[in-house]
Structure 1
């Protein structure tokens, strides 16, 4: 039931915007999504399962945005997207920084036993990404998108360092905000300084 699953995740995200996760009730999420409470439990198994699926969905959306930014431009756009996504979405911010507030669900990052018949839930029940995992994922995606397959090893290593530098600068701007567009400028200046 992919449509019901997305409706339930949307309803849970909306509920989370209105109240702390501890105050989000499964019956209310099901009602807003227009499905039965049994459907919700069939999809997610528990409130923890719903939280894990919600975090997984938001993390996947963030990484899809990284891919779009890489297609549109370069590391400066990836950095801008990172800051923008973290400002707009408290779950993305928490996942990127590891700073989970009491308002948010704080699902365990390690895998939990899953007996779900729903493939998407089995994936959500797997290990959730930690901040270091995001750094590595963004670095590796950036390297794959920007790298030259025949480049010498030293050039590939330098590009990998540049990719990691860009994502780490972006994460620092999530925690210590800069003006709009400022992180892209910082990344461009830092990368320019490395080559001069």
Structure 2
């Protein structure tokens, strides 16, 4: 039931913005979503399953935003600047994305292990959520690899590819530092432009 699942995840996220996860009740999530509590358990299996699915959805949404940022400009450094700006906005606006990207899980959030948990769910999306959740290092690697794929020019040498990969990872890490400590005038995007514009432009020449 994709529609019911999305509604339940929306309800769980809204509940989490209002109270700690320990105070979120399954019956209330089901009621807000307009479905039965049994439907909630059929979809997620347990409160932990709901939490894992919610974290997975928010991480996926962040990565989808990275893809949009990479497609939003022509110049490579502008693409990396857009990724940096999106990362800062996502971290500041979403406590779960902040936790996934920084590894800092506050007491208000679900207490989850990143390793896979046993799953007997008949729901494919839940089996994925019950699998390993991404660590901060995993997410940085995923963003770096997406950026490299978007910016690599066919025929680039191995040295150029390595330089580009380093530049892309630095851009992500700069963005995360700006999410914790604001970058000041120009924000994360300007910092990335200044730090990496010449490097990425050379790799594209």
- Same fold? TM cut 0.5: yes
Matched length: 196
Alignment CA distance shift 1:126-1:101 (3 Å): same
Distance in 1 (alpha carbons) for counterparts of 2:185 and 2:137:
25
Contact 1:21 1:105 in 2 (8 A): yes
Question: Please, what is the CA RMSD of the aligned residues?
Answer: 1.3
Distance in 2 (alpha carbons) for counterparts of 1:5 and 1:177:
36
Aligned to 2:138: 133
Alignment match of 1:106 (pick from 98, 104, 111): 111
TM-score normalised according to structure 1 size: 0.97
Alignment match of 1:187 (pick from 189, 192, 203): 192
CA deviations on 1:60-84 (whole Å, 9 max, x unpaired) are 0000000000000210000000000
TM-score normalised according to structure 2 size: 0.92
What pairs with 1:1-150 in structure 2 (closer than 5 Å)?
1-73=1-73, 74-150=79-155
Alignment CA distance shift 1:14-1:181 (3 Å): farther
* Divergent runs of 4+, >4 A: 193-196
Distance in 2 (alpha carbons) for counterparts of 1:153 and 1:189:
25
Is the partner of 1:76 in helix, strand or coil? helix
Alignment CA distance shift 1:20-1:39 (3 Å): same
Is the partner of 1:72 in helix, strand or coil? coil
Contact 2:90 2:97 in 1 (8 A): yes
Gaps of 5+ in 1: none
